[in-house]
Amino acid sequence: MRNLRLFQSLCGQEVLENVLLTTTQWSNVDPAEGQAREDNLRDEGLWGGLMSKGATLQRFHGTRESGLALIDKLMFTTRKPLHIQNQIVGQQMTLPQTDAGKLLNEALAAREKRFKKEVEYLERKHWEATKANDGEMSRIITTELESARGRSGEAAAERKLLEGSHAAGVEKHEAKERKRRGATEERDVMAGPSRPRLTNNPRTRSAGARQ
């Protein structure tokens, strides 16, 4: 479900009509059972939400003809920019500022929090096993604790990477702005101050002199 939400935030509502949802492995399942599974995917909470916005559901039967039919369906759609492209290019957002980036950051934060709780739980169990002089249990928990710490560190690193991309994006945008302002100021200096234009009309010259 998280992947589906992330996918939808990447595409945006207007692009979903170009999305092709495909089911596979039809040769390995009873047709009635396969139909029931496909019907479940049509649920509003799964693929139904995408289909209600224009996404198409089509089966892939594992043959060349079936694959080409899917490709043909995609080939004749009208190209549209993705929502995340509009946000990054058009609105000058960094990745963490986009809808997809915010959703990803929330998922990473929840994952990091879950792993931290797991580490704390195992540390407590390890302390209890050590206090009870249960060497075998202590060794088992130590192995699990090292693995949990590794996962927690990976989750924290992924969040820092996302935060780093935001900082890099801000710096890049500020550098572009400084360059643009510098080019504008340089053009203004080269142009010099504006001077009044002379005219052969004596009335105009006289009016200009009085001003």
Name the residue ranges covered by the structural domains of the chain. Answer: 2-80, 87-188
| Res 203: pLDDT | 53
CA dihedral 22, 26, 32, 37 (to 10 degrees): -40
Per residue of the chain (211 residues), give pLDDT as tens.
888 888 999 999 889 989 999 999 999 999 999 999 999 999 887 898 899 888 999 999 999 999 999 999 888 888 899 999 999 898 988 888 899 999 888 888 888 889 889 999 999 999 988 888 888 898 999 999 899 889 888 888 888 888 777 666 666 666 666 676 776 666 666 666 555 555 555 554 444 444 3
Vertex 152 angle, CA 107 and 138, to 5°: 140
13: which residues sit within 8 A by CB, 6+ positions away?
53, 83
**DSSP designation for 28:** G
| Res 61: pLDDT | 92
Which residue do the tokens 């190209």 mark? 79
| Res 205: pLDDT | 46
Give, for 59, the enclosing helix (H) or strand (E): strand 56-59
Which residue do the tokens 């599974």 mark? 37
| Res 134: pLDDT | 87
Q: Could you tell me how many helices (H) and strands (E) the chain has, helices first?
A: 8, 2
Q: Which of 99, 75, 87, 101 is nearest to 161 (CA)?
A: 101
| Res 73: pLDDT | 87
Question: What number of other Cβ atoms are within 10 A of residue 16's Cβ?
Answer: 20
Model-wide pTM > 0.75: no
Q: 142 exposed, middle or buried (CB, 10 Å; 0-12, 13-18, 19+)?
A: middle
Q: Which of 54, 60, 51, 47 is nearest to 78 (CA)?
A: 54
- DSSP bridge partners of 22: 58
